């Protein structure tokens, strides 16, 4: 998961937690405020209905009394008739008959006409018919009002009950819509809580990232003060893990280049002394020369010393260029067998005492021909120098799209502990393998092969000496 994906997930979770926290914390307060507001907004309806009831009672008091007397008389006669029936073993229980006003149906019709204007569904019900518990009905009778409010995600369910003792009835108001001030306050409080949770999340996230940045900064500062062994902690979350890894790679590369630079400076300063000392000695010897032959001999020695000095400086400059990142290569497909044969034909006449065995397959590879010839000259030249009597050169394809070039000799060989060290610049082994040169040849070979994507390995030879194996990508031709 990428950094931005993780941030999006964290932000979404924080938003969800903020909404849930706001709902849990504010819902009870919102419902309480909603009840108070509904009571205040419906007081006018309650009072208007109260006035309407008083008006109806004023208009029809005598009719109500007459009808009530008749109802009582009818009820009394019915009770006496029931008591005279001997077949009834158990007397019927007598309950008080609650009389409803005659104007009650007219009032219900009036409420039906006005309910659209009030924004509530208005109905008049008997107290025993309202959907409330016994305790809620008692509280309704005592206080005269009862509000049932429940908040929802989109709409609120609000029902108000107003009790009128003169008719023992209840006005039921069911809210049809909501746009009140309490809802606005709830929305504002919800937004504030959500932003607070988001701000807390951002603060915690930034604080955690600040710790990671501080740890990386301490590593950078220590490295800038000269502690080149300083490395950043890679056990950091994304994306700081990548920064730490890249910093460590850069630090290792810089440390390696500095070590190579120091080694090169030390090696060049050391190896320059030998040809310069020979030049000084030959120049001093010219003062003792008595004839032309003595002068010619000293001049030849000085010329050889100058050749060694020139070769050392050329190798040093080439190695410095190879260590750069933008060394140009002209890569084209070439037949490696032809190049090996060409280099051998130039070197073999110089070592007539060495028997050379060639086994060369025709292999094509993408190379810079001038640089690869330099590789072969170094490897074959070392093989001729350290071989006693035999030198074997083999070139073959490995069947998997690669090739192997093996140069073996029967010289003193290379110990296992020195097979890696011998490829470093200015490294010399014992006198048996370091009689000549400045120790840059194999280091140059390694760099040139790396530029081509090839690899150099040092192994033991079946002839008894050392074997240098070049491996890379190539196809049989």
Distances (CA, A) of 232 to 8, 10, 115, 229: 28, 27, 75, 10
φ, ψ of residue 404 in degrees (nearest 5): -140, 125
The rounded distance, in Å, linking the Cα atoms of 378 and 99 is 126
The rounded distance, in Å, linking the Cα atoms of 1 and 12 is 15
Alpha-carbon dihedral 256, 258, 260, 262, rounded to 10 degrees: -150
Q: What is the pTM of this model?
A: 0.46
Measured between its terminal Cα atoms, the distance across the chain in Å is 47
Query: What sign results for the dihedral spanned by CA atoms 132, 136, 141, 147?
Result: negative
- The pLDDT of residue 161 is 93
Q: Which residues make Cβ contacts (< 8 Å) with residue 438, sequence separation at least 6?
A: 267, 268, 271, 311, 312, 315, 316, 426
| Mean per-residue pLDDT pooled into runs of 10, the chain (477 residues) | 63 75 74 84 83 75 52 58 54 47 68 73 85 89 87 72 86 71 69 80 80 84 82 78 84 78 66 73 78 80 79 71 66 89 89 89 87 87 88 87 89 83 68 49 79 87 89 79
Helix axes 3-59, 181-224, angle to 10 degrees: 170
What is the Cβ-side half-sphere exposure of residue 469, based on CA atoms within 13 angstroms?
A: 14
- Could you give the domains of the chain? 3-82+98-184 (3.30.450), 240-322 (1.10.287), 332-476 (3.30.565.10)
- The pLDDT of residue 406 is 92
H runs (alpha helix) in 323-364: 336-347
The rounded distance, in Å, linking the Cα atoms of 267 and 270 is 5
Q: What is the DSSP string of 252-292?
A: HHHHHHHHHHHHHHHHHHHHHHHHHHHHHHHHHHHTT--SH
The beta strands (E) that lie in 127-254 are given as: 145-150, 157-164, 169-175
Query: What sign results for the dihedral spanned by CA atoms 351, 352, 357, 361?
Result: positive
Query: What sign results for the dihedral spanned by CA atoms 128, 134, 140, 143?
Result: positive
Alpha-carbon dihedral 188, 194, 200, 205, rounded to 10 degrees: -140
- The pLDDT of residue 348 is 87
- The pLDDT of residue 440 is 61
Pair of tokens at residue 281: 């000695």
Alpha-carbon dihedral 220, 224, 225, 226, rounded to 10 degrees: 110
* Total residue length of the chain: 477
Coil, helix or strand at residue 239: coil
DSSP state of 87: T
Q: Which value, in Å, is the radius of gyration of the alpha carbons in the chain? A: 54
470: β partners: 405, 456
- The pLDDT of residue 407 is 92
Cβ neighbours of 204 (radius 10 Å): 12
């Amino acid at each position: 998961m990428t950094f931005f994906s993780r941030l999006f997930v964290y932000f979404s979770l924080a938003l969800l937690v903020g909404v849930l926290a706001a709902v849990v914390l504010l819902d009870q307060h919102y419902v309480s405020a909603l009840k108070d507001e509904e009571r205040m907004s419906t007081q006018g309806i309650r009072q208007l209905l109260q006035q309407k009831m008083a008006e109806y009672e004023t208009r029809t008091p005598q009719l109500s009394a007459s009808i009530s007397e008749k109802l009582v008389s009818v009820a009394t006669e019915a009770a006496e008739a029931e008591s005279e029936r001997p077949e009834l073993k158990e007397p019927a229980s007598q309950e008080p008959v609650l009389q409803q006003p005659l104007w009650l149906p007219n009032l219900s019709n009036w409420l039906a006409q006005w309910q659209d204007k009030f924004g509530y569904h208005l109905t008049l019900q008997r107290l025993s018919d309202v959907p409330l518990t016994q305790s809620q009905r008692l509280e309704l009778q005592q206080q005269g009002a009862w509000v049932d409010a429940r908040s929802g995600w989109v709409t609120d369910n609000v029902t108000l009950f107003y009790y009128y003792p003169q008719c023992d009835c209840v006005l039921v108001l069911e809210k049809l819509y909501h746009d009140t001030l309490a809802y606005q306050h709830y929305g504002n409080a919800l937004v504030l809580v959500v932003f607070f949770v988001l701000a807390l999340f951002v603060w915690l996230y930034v604080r955690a990232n600040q710790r990671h940045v501080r740890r990386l900064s301490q590593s950078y500062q220590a490295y800038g003060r000269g502690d080149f062994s300083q490395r950043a902690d890679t056990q950091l979350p994304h994306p700081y893990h990548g920064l730490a890894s890249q910093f460590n790679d850069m630090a290792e590369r810089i440390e390696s280049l500095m070590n190579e630079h120091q080694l090169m400076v030390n090696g060049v300063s050391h190896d320059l002394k030998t040809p310069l000392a020979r030049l000084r000695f030959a120049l001093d010897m010219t003062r003792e020369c008595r004839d032309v032959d003595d002068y010619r001999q000293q001049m030849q020695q000085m010329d050889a010393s100058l050749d060694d000095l020139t070769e050392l400086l050329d190798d040093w400059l080439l190695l410095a260029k190879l260590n750069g990142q933008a060394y140009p290569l002209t890569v084209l497909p070439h037949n490696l067998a032809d190049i090996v044969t060409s280099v051998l034909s130039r070197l073999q006449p110089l070592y007539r005492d060495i028997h050379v065995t060639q086994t060369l397959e025709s292999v094509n590879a993408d190379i810079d021909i001038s640089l690869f010839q330099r590789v072969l000259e170094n490897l074959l030249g070392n093989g001729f120098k350290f071989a006693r009597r035999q030198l074997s050169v083999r070139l073959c394809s490995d069947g998997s799209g690669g090739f192997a070039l093996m140069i073996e000799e029967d010289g003193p060989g290379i110990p296992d502990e020195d097979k890696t060290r011998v490829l470093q610049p200015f490294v010399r082994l014992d006198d048996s393998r370091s009689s000549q040169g400045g120790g840059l040849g194999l280091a140059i070979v390694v760099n040139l092969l790396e530029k081509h994507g090839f690899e150099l390995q040092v192994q033991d030879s079946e002839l008894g000496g050392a074997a240098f194996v070049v491996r890379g990508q190539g196809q049989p031709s």
